[in-house]
A and B are shown apart, each in its own frame.
Chain A
């Protein structure tokens, strides 16, 4: 089980700030594909992956990063702090 979090407009499109997901996916990309097939709102949220960043266990990673050891995964647009 992985806690999946969403921030900013990704959160708005998915409709929840976080959810617990039961998955067999091996990589971030596989998880994204799995979610996209589940419901339309995920398809909308993940339609342009070049506009989305991902973090596993609160560290930035890539879409081809493996999910082994992941307890928390977050999807969000590029940061705009400062």
Chain B
């Protein structure tokens, strides 16, 4: 299990290569990564991601532990960046390793749903006219219901 909250970029290929590749029980690895996209007005200059340093690691660990237990994962990886990110930059990645693909897919989705609305990160979109905090959407909150 590895959780990293970092300023720097990450190399998905390298991360997955070292992602518990010596466990012979693993038959499926699912990975997801999110990237900075433009806003609807196509005016995004960059994004600033704020975090609550003491709480981020703790909150992510909590949900990773739940996922490992619920889907019998052999390994899980979460990387989330903070600070200034440019258009096209990688924001975060999640990877899960299980015996079968169904567990790997479901646990990765579960982690993504919880990271979106339970890990203390806040996105700010900066444009030439100023900035605005990204609003949370009701869909993100209701996405959690299917896991309860």
Interface residues of B (CB under 8 A from A): 34, 49-50, 52, 54-55, 58-59, 80, 91-92, 112, 115-124, 133-136, 141
Seen from chain A, the residues whose Cβ lies within 8 Å of a Cβ on chain B are: 5, 7-9, 55, 58-60, 72, 74, 76-82
Contacts of B121 in A (CB 8 A): 79-82
Pick the residue among B80, B133, B135 that contacts A81 (CB under 8 A): B80
* CB–CB A7/B120 < 8 A: yes
| Inter-chain contact B118/A60, CB cutoff 8 Å | yes
* CB < 8 Å neighbour of B52 from A74, A78, A80, A82: A74
- Complex formed: what's the CA distance from A31 to B137 in Å? 28
Q: Give Cα A73 to B116, complex, Å.
A: 21
Q: With CB as the reference atom, state the residue of chain B lying closest to A55.
A: B55
A79 touches B133 (CB 8 A): no
Query: What are 29 of the A-B contact pairs (CB < 8 Å)?
Result: A7-B52, A7-B120, A8-B50, A55-B52, A55-B55, A58-B54, A58-B55, A59-B58, A72-B54, A74-B120, A76-B52, A76-B122, A77-B133, A79-B118, A79-B119, A80-B117, A80-B121, A80-B122, A80-B134, A80-B135, A80-B136, A81-B80, A81-B92, A81-B115, A81-B121, A81-B122, A82-B91, A82-B92, A82-B116
Chain A residues within 8 Å of B80, by CB: 81
Given contacts A58-B52, A58-B58, contact A82 B135 (CB under 8 A): no
Residue of B nearest to A60 (CB): B118
Given contacts A80-B133, A81-B115, A81-B117, 16 further A-B contacts (CB under 8 A): A7-B120, A7-B122, A9-B133, A55-B120, A74-B52, A74-B120, A77-B133, A77-B136, A78-B136, A78-B141, A79-B118, A79-B136, A80-B116, A80-B121, A80-B122, A81-B80
Contact (Cβ within 8 A) A81 B52: no
Determine the distance from Cα of A78 to Cα of B140 in the docked complex, in whole angstroms. Answer: 10
- Chain A: CB-nearest residue to B82: A81
Contact between A79 and B54 (Cβ–Cβ < 8 Å)? no
Do A77 and B58 contact each other (CB < 8 Å), given the known contacts A7-B50, A82-B116? no
